[in-house]
Structure 1
């Protein structure tokens, strides 16, 4: 079955499998949202079923919560857990300082809350998500529905003084209707092309009335696990300044692929 996976899916799986090995018995684990995070949830579910791993999972979306329950992970709320040992999540982009763009799946608010309530955040990604400068991927900004068009205009006016190349903001749609987050908000996707100063932009965006949160994760990620289609993984630790190389044997995990549907 693994031979039927695309190289990108194989890369996502090996990154998730390597990160799952960082989870220890008794941990409270933040579970990310998105296609790569779904591999992680499946890997942890297999460990719960086959190895007797006992963890509590705090999901960052209703989709992740449903998948976690499906594979046998005990699901609790962040308020119930209090503080987390580790959060493992994907990213739409990451740079050399492990600054991230997240929110492609529409769960950036819960993802940021959960990640910052953790002793460590680990990002899992395929090698194509690494960039020299953030911004090629549209930056999601969660806004309240009331007056969202005014909020968009204020954001676009604010971008004039920012170190970015593009300044357009588009309302994310779900078919013919606006996309709605788990909190009942909308998302504006900012097409910036290049973000020269992510830290400044993250701070300024959150001062715009109507903005709930933005998808720039600055000084939050501790480690990134990068997967490659041939089974190789690279683990970078921003705090320790280390880089480790490993390999994941995909053949032993065929049962993970039989019913996976991201």
Structure 2
């Protein structure tokens, strides 16, 4: 089995759990979506591979920053959403793990948008044109913007309530200079924790 490993604090627990299963004999390969996930997977003894070697994954597991009742999500708090989206599309089944605080009626968080540095000013103008308020994400431990694992900038773009995530996703994707954005609309399954229990919600059941 080949598994895509997402990025973030919730998925870190999943990676550690998979590592324990590997130690007990689970036979898998994993494709990490960021330097952090790769380092943790290596620490946990999970054998790694690449999309070049395995372009079709059996499963991808990731977290979310926010998810609505129709299983549309916003991701990218760790600035790894472009690779996460590639891995999610490569997988036969894309599963999200989250705690109950992440689920909302309507998405309203800023949308992370990965942008080519060369095109930053043009992209910013176009994001404003479609109703967004973009802010270039700044690094915490150095001067200047956050740089993704792909060498690009991230803009966090506020749109208020996002009642039609699929249409907004398409509008953002059509802007030249945008690498990808943090709106995810193709989640197959959600595992969400409530007060010590886990509820499983499948897209086909909505």
Normalised by the shorter chain, which TM-score bucket? Answer: over 0.9
Query: In the aligned structure 2, how far is the partner of 1:207 from the partner of 1:231?
Result: 42
Is 1:138 aligned to 2:138, yes or no?
A: no
1:150 Cα deviation after fit: 2.2
Query: In the aligned structure 2, how far is the partner of 1:154 from the partner of 1:95?
Result: 26
Query: In the aligned structure 1, how far is the partner of 2:175 from the partner of 2:130?
Result: 8
Instruction: Please list every run of 5 or more consecutive structure 2 residues that lacks an aligned counterpart in the other structure.
Output: none
Find the partner of 2:200 among 225, 228, 235.
Answer: 235
Alpha carbon RMSD of aligned pairs, Å?
A: 1.1
Is 1:213 aligned to 2:174, yes or no?
A: no
| Map 1:102-251 → 2, pairs under 5 A | 102-135=75-108, 137-159=109-131, 167-175=132-140, 176-218=143-185, 220-228=186-194, 230-239=195-204, 241=205
**2:18 matched to which residue of 1?**
44
Larger radius of gyration: 1
1:193 Cα deviation after fit: 2.2
Please list the CA deviations of residues 84-139 of structure 1 after superposition, one character each: whole Å capped at 9, or x if unmatched.
0100100011111111111111000000000001110000000000011112x211
**1:57 matched to which residue of 2?**
30
Query: In the aligned structure 2, how far is the partner of 1:32 from the partner of 1:180?
Result: 18
**Aligned residues, how many?**
204
1:94 is paired with a residue whose SS is strand
1:67 Cα deviation after fit: 0.5
1:74 Cα deviation after fit: 0.4
Task: Give me the TM-score of the superposition, normalised by structure 1.
Answer: 0.76
Task: Give me the TM-score of the superposition, normalised by structure 2.
Answer: 0.96
Runs of 4+ in 1 over 2 A off after TM superposition: none
Query: In the aligned structure 2, how far is the partner of 1:138 from the partner of 1:78?
Result: 29
Instruction: Please list every run of 5 or more consecutive structure 1 residues that lacks an aligned counterpart in the other structure.
Output: 1-26, 160-166, 243-262
Find the partner of 2:49 among 57, 73, 76.
Answer: 76
Please list the CA deviations of residues 175-219 of structure 1 after superposition, one character each: whole Å capped at 9, or x if unmatched.
32100000001111011221121111100111111111111111x
